[in-house]
């Protein structure tokens, strides 16, 4: 198949920042792209060859869009899977497959999948409705504290809450959900696995994620993770076993906990480019976005080693700020060594909304982490 400067069409479901960064690489390779997104303001609008407006959860919108392309991929999981299944039957290549997405879209199904495939994960219970949890606590079937997660449509800290008392359940949506044993962990780690249809597999180095204590969002991604070789090896092994169980094509980001006694437990996965791989743009030989393209188009996979230590800082909307975005002190951080800001192109900010990220590269990882802290303190995402 000739993908380059040809009439081949790559379809992308979702027009957010992940799609926008993917389009940097389709531009590099001159691959023709079509994007479907419900928002006319989507970051991808300016960089795709064709931009289509449509609801990603609508069967007809996804089906009709998919009929116009040769290969279809996603940058967000919340898409109509039934439409993808029909497209696959009609010969459109869909990566990740509808089967993989069906499992991953629902956190309860995803957790059961790990249990069925002997993949290590924290103990959990599933509930049809949040309201059933109180009864389970009262009858002693469930003990506090635990982590509550809505089964579907949670993202970036929404749909997740640590429940320490019955009162913490107040105000949670009454939806299908799971409760997970609260794991006292040392580190949150992630490994991105790339696999193409021919079965070639490569993993990116293990990264460590530092979270914001209140927003349940990643504040820093540190690559390589500051863990022992033995722990890193174990994390890579779990990620590879997970990818194999899904029979996944494309990228699979596997988020994991390192427990106090150095066991590795899967938290959750994302079958697409992921926040834990943004530093690869500046720090690696092959970025996660280029690797995703190579994987879904069955091209040879690129080298995944890091050239240099990298730390990524998420830029999220400041609390109390909503409206037209202003990046305060951006020039000040650009004066710092090895600092590259990425602005996602969202015109409106609101508290904790992901608006961009900053990568810091340095031969000395501790120095990169120190500069990252300075970046975090200096730049503010505020509104006019």
Burial class of residue 171 (count of CB atoms within 10 Å of its CB; 0-12, 13-18, 19+) = exposed
Is 107 annotated as a binding-site member? yes
Can you list the pairs that 229-235 forms with residues at least 24 positions away whose Cβ atoms lie under 8 Å?
230/262, 231/189, 231/258, 231/262, 231/264, 232/205, 232/206, 234/262, 234/264, 235/189, 235/191, 235/206, 235/264
Is 182 annotated as a binding-site member? yes
Place of tokens 């479907």: 36
Q: How far is CA 223 from the centre of its chain?
A: 16
Give the three-state DSSP class for 292. helix
Is 280 annotated as a binding-site member? no
Residues with Cβ within 8 Å of 283's Cβ and at least 6 positions away in sequence, in order, are 223, 306, 307, 308, 309, 310, 359, 361
Is 41 annotated as a binding-site member? no
Is 181 annotated as a binding-site member? yes
Is 180 annotated as a binding-site member? yes
Six-digit token pair at 176? 């299908």
Is 328 annotated as a binding-site member? no
DSSP string, 154-178: -BTTBTEEEE-SGGGGTT---SSEE
Sheet holding 9-13, edge to edge: 50-53, 32-37, 9-13, 71-74, 93-94
Residues with Cβ within 8 Å of 281's Cβ and at least 6 positions away in sequence, in order, are 21, 287, 288, 289, 340, 342, 359
Considering Cα of 62, then 63, then 64, then 67, what sign does the dihedral take? positive
CB 350 within 8 Å of CB 322: yes
DSSP string, 294-332: HHHTTPPPPP--BSSEEEEEEEEPPTT--EEEEEETHHH
Residues of each annotated binding site for ATP: 107, 149, 180-183, 188, 267-268
Residues of each annotated binding site: 107, 149, 180-183, 188, 267-268
């Amino acid at each position: 198949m000739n993908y380059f400067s040809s009439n081949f069409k790559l379809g992308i479901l979702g027009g957010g920042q992940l799609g926008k960064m993917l389009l940097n690489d389709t531009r590099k390779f001159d691959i023709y792209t079509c994007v479907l997104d419900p928002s006319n303001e989507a970051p991808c609008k300016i960089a795709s060859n064709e931009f289509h407006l449509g609801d990603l959860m609508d069967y007809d919108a996804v089906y009709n869009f998919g009929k116009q392309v040769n290969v279809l991929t996603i940058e967000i999981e919340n898409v109509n899977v039934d439409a993808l299944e029909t497209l696959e039957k009609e010969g459109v290549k869909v990566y990740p497959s509808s089967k993989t997405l069906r499992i991953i879209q629902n956190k309860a199904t995803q957790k059961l999948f790990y249990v069925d495939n002997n993949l290590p994960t924290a103990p959990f219970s599933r509930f049809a409705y949040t309201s059933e949890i109180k009864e389970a606590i009262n009858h002693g079937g469930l003990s506090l504290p635990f982590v509550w997660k809505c089964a579907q449509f949670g993202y970036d800290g929404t749909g997740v809450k640590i429940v320490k008392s019955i009162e913490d359940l107040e105000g949670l949506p009454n939806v299908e959900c799971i409760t997970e044993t609260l794991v006292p962990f040392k580190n949150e780690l992630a490994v991105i696995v790339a696999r193409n249809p021919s079965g070639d597999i490569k993993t990116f180095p293990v990264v460590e994620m530092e979270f914001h204590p209140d927003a349940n969002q990643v504040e820093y991604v540190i690559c390589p993770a500051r863990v022992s070789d033995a722990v890193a090896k174990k994390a890579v092994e779990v990620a590879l076993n997970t990818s194999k169980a899904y029979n996944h094509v494309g990228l699979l980001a596997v988020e994991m906990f390192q427990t106090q006694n150095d066991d590795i437990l899967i938290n959750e996965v994302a079958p697409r480019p992921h926040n834990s791989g943004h530093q690869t743009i500046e720090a690696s030989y092959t970025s996660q976005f280029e690797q995703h393209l190579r994987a879904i188009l069955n091209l040879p996979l690129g080298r995944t080693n890091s050239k240099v230590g990298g730390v990524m800082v998420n830029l999220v909307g400041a609390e109390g700020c909503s409206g037209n975005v202003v990046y305060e002190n951006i020039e000040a951080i650009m004066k710092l060594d090895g600092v590259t800001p990425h602005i996602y192109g969202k015109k409106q900010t609101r508290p904790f909304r992901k608006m961009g990220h900053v990568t810091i590269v340095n031969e000395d990882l501790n120095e990169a982490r120190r500069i990252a802290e300075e970046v975090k303190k200096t730049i503010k995402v505020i509104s006019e």
